[in-house]
Each structure stands twice: as C-alpha cells, then as structure tokens.
Amino acid sequence: MGEKVEVLISKEDVEKRICEVARQINKDFGPDAQLHLVCVLKGGVFFMCELAKHLDMQVTMDFMSVSSYGDDTKSSGVVRIIKDLDEPLEGKEVLVVEDIIDSGRTLSYLLEVLKGRNPASIHLCTLLDKPDRRVVENVSVDYCCFEIPDEFVVGYGLDYAQKYRNLSYIGVVRLYGEEADA
Ligand code: IMP
Ligand code: MG
C-alpha cells in the first residue's frame, strides 16, 4: 500500500493567514502586552514559530507535550502529559498555540490543567479546526486560521505516524493500493 499527499492549503495561503491572525492578536492585546506562548508539541511548533515572528508585543515561549493519539489516525481518548512546562503560569497572559482541534479532548483537558495554575488570562489559538469532529463542548477557540472538513491532514507540523511534519503546506494523506481499495 502506498501513500501520497495532496495539497489542501498552499504554503502561501498558510503564511498569509497566519500573518492575518497575528495582526488580530496584536490589535487585541496591544503593543504593551507581555504574551506567554504555550506551544503544544510537537504539531504546534511550526505554527507557533511563524505566528511569533509577526507578533509586535513582548513574547515569551514555553513548550508542553500532551498525547491523545497513538501512531494512527484514530483518537484513543486517553490524554496524558508527556512533557510539562518549564515555567509557572501565575499572573501571565497565556496564549495556547495548537496545531489542530479535532475531538477537542486534548484541549479540554489541557485548558483545565493550565487554568488551575492561575494565569492572568488564557486564550486559545489554533492553526486548524475540524468543528464537525468535536465531542466536547467546553473548548472555545479565540483564534483559528482555518476551519477544515473531516479529513486527516499533515504538514506544517502535523504528522501521520510521525511523517510529513516538515511539509511547508497542509495536505491530505491518500492511501492507495490493495488495502486502501478494499
Ligand atoms: P483531539 O484531542 O481529538 O482534539 O486531537 C488533537 C490532536 O490530535 C492534535 O493536536 C493532533 O496532534 C492530532 N490530530 C487530530 N487530527 C489530526 C489530523 O488530521 N492530522 C494530524 N494530527 C491530528
Ligand atoms: Mg496537537
């Protein structure tokens, strides 16, 4: 069985939209804000770096790794912290930066954990959102670059079995051959 990746959102469109969202964040927070970006590894890292380059205020960054997926395309429903943040969130203006919100289980869990650390505020910014797939109600997205249909996507940090994170565009994985055709 083979795999190929079809372009869903081009590099140019991704970068243009990230720039627009950054401009909105600049407007909402203002130049005097100190924004603490919390990147959800590994998928959020390309997005956070690109977004951060267009932010005007003072920015700090921290990284966290939470897992709700194995090496396939189905949610296990199990969320666990693999790597916690290095810094406390107490009193900080926090912007959580995610690659994609699918069922919402990961974010629902993560936001509860982070709110418990007493940040001054907490907002959520995601590169992609699949609203049709949501199973939890309590995840409110403050900034979203693209809403996409229910397709498994890769690139710009997102993986399929750890592959394709380095693609500069967002694509859909197509499987072909005997198993996929069955
Ligand atoms: P959720 O808990 O179902 O919202 O899943 C969120 C996580 O699942 C994301 O942060 C991704 O790591 C992964 N994920 C969900 N959909 C996709 C996809 O289409 N491509 C790659 N990873 C995905
Ligand atoms: Mg993620």
The answer to whether residue 77 scores a pLDDT higher than 80 is: no
Residues assigned a catalytic role: 102
pLDDT in tens, 158-175: 999 999 999 999 999 998
Q: What distance in angstroms lies between residue 29's CA and the mean position of ligand 1's atoms?
A: 28
**H-assigned helices in 44-175:** 45-53, 105-115
Give the pLDDT confidence score for residue 7 in this predicted structure. 98
Domains and CATH numbers, the chain: 12-150 (3.40.50.2020)
Q: What CA–CA distance (Å, rounded) separates 46 from 50?
A: 6
Run of H or E including 174? strand 170-176
The rounded Cα 109 to chain-centroid distance in angstroms is 15
The residue whose CA is least distant from atom 9 of ligand 1 is 100
Task: Say yes or no: CB of residue 99 within 6 Å of ligand 1.
Answer: yes
pLDDT in tens, 8-65: 999 999 999 999 999 999 999 999 999 999 999 999 999 999 999 999 999 999 999 9
Average pLDDT on 109-138 reads 94
Give the pLDDT confidence score for residue 75 in this predicted structure. 56
| Tokens 């998928």 belong to residue | 43
Task: Say yes or no: CB of residue 157 within 6 Å of ligand 1.
Answer: no
Give the pLDDT confidence score for residue 1 in this predicted structure. 81
Asked if the bond preceding 16 is cis, omega within 30° of 0, the reply is: no
Task: Say yes or no: CB of residue 68 within 6 Å of ligand 1.
Answer: yes
pLDDT in tens, 64-73: 998 765 545 5
The structure's pTM equals 0.92
Report the atom number in ligand 1 closest to the C-alpha of 159: 21
Task: Say yes or no: CB of residue 153 within 6 Å of ligand 1.
Answer: yes
Among the listed residues 56, 155, 58, the one whose alpha carbon sits nearest the alpha carbon of residue 99: 155
Give the pLDDT confidence score for residue 70 in this predicted structure. 53
